[in-house]
Chains A and B, each alone.
Chain A
Amino acid sequence: MEIKEGLLYSTDHEWIQVEGNIAAVGITAFAQEQLGEIVFVELPTIDEEVKQEDTFGTVESVKAASDIIAPVSGKIIEVNETLEDSPEIMNDNPYGAWIAKIELSDAGQLDGLMDAAAYAEFIK
Chain B
Amino acid sequence: MANEMIKTTLFEKHVGLNAKMVDFGGFNLPIQYAGITEEHHQVRTNAGIFDVSHMGEVIIEGERAIDYIQHIFTNDISAMKEFQVMYGLMCYKNGTVVDDLLVYKYNDNKFLLVVNASNKEKDFEWLKQNNKFNVAIKDISKISEIAIQGPNAENILQQMTDYDLTKIEFFNFQEIKVLGEDCIVSRTGYTGEDGFEVYSQNVLNIWDKFIELGASPIGLGARDTLRFEAALPLYGNEISDQINPIEANLGIFVKLDKDFIGRDSLVKIKENRKLKSVGIELIDKGIPRHGYKVLNENDQVIGEITTGYKLKEAAIALALIPVKYKIGDTLYVQIRNKKIKASVVSRKFMNKNYKK
- A residues lining the B interface (CB < 8 Å): 36-37, 39-40, 42, 58, 60, 62-65, 84
Query: Is B221 a contact of A42 with CB atoms below 8 Å?
Result: no
Query: Is A63 a contact of B285 with CB atoms below 8 Å?
Result: no
Query: Is A60 a contact of B310 with CB atoms below 8 Å?
Result: yes
Q: Which residues of B contact A64 (CB under 8 A)?
A: 289
A63 to B225, CA, bound (A): 9
Query: Is B36 a contact of A62 with CB atoms below 8 Å?
Result: yes
Q: Which residues of B contact A58 (CB under 8 A)?
A: 336
Q: Known contacts being A60-B310, A63-B31, is A40 close to B221, with CB within 8 Å?
A: no
Q: Which residues of B contact A37 (CB under 8 A)?
A: 35-37
Task: Please name the residue on chain B nearest to A84 by beta carbon.
Answer: B285
Q: Known contacts being A60-B310, A62-B221, A63-B31, is A40 close to B36, with CB within 8 Å?
A: no
26 of the cross-chain contacts (CB-CB < 8 Å) are A36-B20, A36-B32, A36-B36, A36-B221, A37-B36, A37-B37, A39-B37, A39-B287, A39-B310, A40-B285, A40-B287, A40-B310, A40-B315, A42-B285, A42-B286, A42-B336, A58-B336, A60-B287, A62-B36, A62-B309, A62-B310, A63-B36, A63-B221, A64-B289, A65-B287, A84-B285
A60 to B288, CA, bound (A): 11
Q: Known contacts being A36-B221, A39-B310, A40-B310, is A62 close to B286, with CB within 8 Å?
A: no
Q: Which residues of B contact A63 (CB under 8 A)?
A: 31, 36, 221
Contact residues of B between 267 and 285, Cβ < 8 Å to A: 285
Min Cβ gap B82→A in Å is: 41
Contact residues of B between 219 and 234, Cβ < 8 Å to A: 221, 225
Q: Which residues of A contact B285 (CB under 8 A)?
A: 40, 42, 84
A62 to B289, CA, bound (A): 10
Given A36-B32, A37-B35, A62-B225; 7 other pairs, CB 8 A cutoff: A36-B20, A39-B287, A62-B36, A62-B221, A62-B310, A63-B31, A65-B287
Task: Please name the residue on chain B nearest to A88 by beta carbon.
Answer: B37
Q: Which residues of B contact A39 (CB under 8 A)?
A: 37, 287, 310
Task: Please name the residue on chain B nearest to A62 by beta carbon.
Answer: B36
Task: Please name the residue on chain B nearest to A34 by beta carbon.
Answer: B20
Contact residues of B between 88 and 139, Cβ < 8 Å to A: none
Min Cβ gap A34→B in Å is: 9
Task: Please name the residue on chain B nearest to A63 by beta carbon.
Answer: B221
Task: Please name the residue on chain A nearest to B337 by beta carbon.
Answer: A55
A63 to B315, CA, bound (A): 13
Task: Please name the residue on chain B nearest to A91 by beta carbon.
Answer: B35
Q: Which residues of B contact A42 (CB under 8 A)?
A: 285-286, 336
Contact residues of B between 19 and 76, Cβ < 8 Å to A: 20, 31-32, 35-37
Min Cβ gap B277→A in Å is: 22
A81 to B150, CA, bound (A): 37
Q: Which residues of A contact B315 (CB under 8 A)?
A: 40
Closest 10 interchain pairs by CB?
A62-B36, A39-B310, A60-B287, A37-B35, A40-B287, A63-B221, A40-B310, A37-B37, A37-B36, A62-B221
A81 to B310, CA, bound (A): 19
Min Cβ gap A103→B in Å is: 23
Max count, chain B CB within 10 A of own CB: residue among A58, A62, A64, A65: A62
Min Cβ gap B220→A in Å is: 9
Task: Please name the residue on chain B nearest to A58 by beta carbon.
Answer: B336
**Which of A36, A60, A65 is B35 in contact with, Cβ under 8 Å?**
A36
Max count, chain A CB within 10 A of own CB: residue among B32, B37, B287, B315: B287
Min Cβ gap A50→B in Å is: 14
Min Cβ gap B186→A in Å is: 29
Q: Which residues of A contact B37 (CB under 8 A)?
A: 37, 39, 62
Task: Please name the residue on chain B nearest to A39 by beta carbon.
Answer: B310
Task: Please name the residue on chain B nearest to A67 by beta carbon.
Answer: B336
A37 to B40, CA, bound (A): 13
Min Cβ gap B311→A in Å is: 8
Q: Which residues of B contact A36 (CB under 8 A)?
A: 20, 32, 35-36, 221
A84 to B287, CA, bound (A): 12
Q: Which residues of B contact A62 (CB under 8 A)?
A: 36-37, 221, 225, 309-310
A112 to B126, CA, bound (A): 55
Task: Please name the residue on chain B nearest to A87 by beta carbon.
Answer: B310
Query: Is B225 a contact of A65 with CB atoms below 8 Å?
Result: no
Task: Please name the residue on chain A nearest to B311 by beta carbon.
Answer: A62
Contact with A along B141-185 (1 / 0, CB 8 A): 000000000000000000000000000000000000000000000
